[in-house]
Structure 1
Amino acid sequence: QNIDIGNSLCEKDLSTTALSIMEKADNLNCKIVLPLDVVCADNINDQSSIRRCDIKNILPNQMVLDVGNKTSKIIAEIILRARMVLWNGPLGAFEYKPFEQSSVEVANVIKNNAKILNITTLAGGGDTISAIKMAKAEEGFSYISKAGGAFLEWLEGKESPGVTALKENTYN
């Protein structure tokens, strides 16, 4: 997308992978939601430099630390129309105020609507669980896995080495 993200953390070596995922999603008519707006700061501890801006207006000296209100609302609208939600990874640097806002909002949308709308909700990974707990939204989830990578592999249909070992060493 060629958007300057300032000093934000970014795994540039995964850009080809990201583009491949976006292409596959497009071919499958699957929409990937990218941020329209963000919350930035010079660094994670500098409350005085916090600003909200359009994704195209990130200052070179700032880093993206959360998605903005417009993006959170779009995600919430998608959740409310979904039959299933899979959440792996918080939306921002949720450990630091005010960058927890979007993760807490999304967790609460799930908590307040999943059972009413009969949405199956799955979450995995330590940071995701911490964000859900911060929002006190655990009751909104059908299943929560503490294992992020193993959780995603399980969803892919891969068997974990521990399960394989147990199956191979089971006494009959």
Structure 2
Amino acid sequence: MEATLALVDARCGAPGVIGEDRRLAEFVPVGVPDEVRERIGALPQGHGILGLLIRHPAPVRIAEISEHPDFCGFPEHHPPMHSFLGVPVRVRGEIFGNLYLTDNRSAKEFDAEDESAVSVLAVVAGVAIDNARLLAEGRLGRPGQPLPERSRTVCCRAGHRRRCYGSSSSTPGGTSPPT
């Protein structure tokens, strides 16, 4: 998550996992000091702005959180937050959770480029989660075996052909990967 924050110059963020009850089952804040986190108390369950992504899983950019109609306030001791970017994480087409980022430090709000970058990371996160599940179930190949087609596609779209195919000389179709 730290790399995601750095990529879009966000002050705080969190991955959130959605439970069967359509609430946040897990929420791991990054960028909020531990002592502040402890004073805030219970983790969010997915109401307000965070719940917006659960109810409508599509990227959301908000310039001022407190002015959004879904804003329902912050708990006591919560640091002020202003700009917001949220992106869903899908695993095999199903919503698994969301990436939440707040307070763009270099601009008043997050822009379309930030949204695009975090959306790509959400796709990669979804593939990593899927691969971890497959590995845990024993359905993912051993080291040295090719990645599942879905993983190869995402890696190659991200420009990592060499790593995906295990060769520095070719990819399927006989073309050389980018160097």
Indicate the TM-score class for this superposition, using the shorter chain for normalisation.
Answer: under 0.3
Answer 1 or 2: which has greater strand percent.
2
Answer 1 or 2: which has greater helix percent.
1
Structure 2 length-normalised TM? 0.25
- Give the structure, 1 or 2, with the largest relative contact order (CA under 8 Å, sep 6 or more): 2
Structure 1 length-normalised TM? 0.26
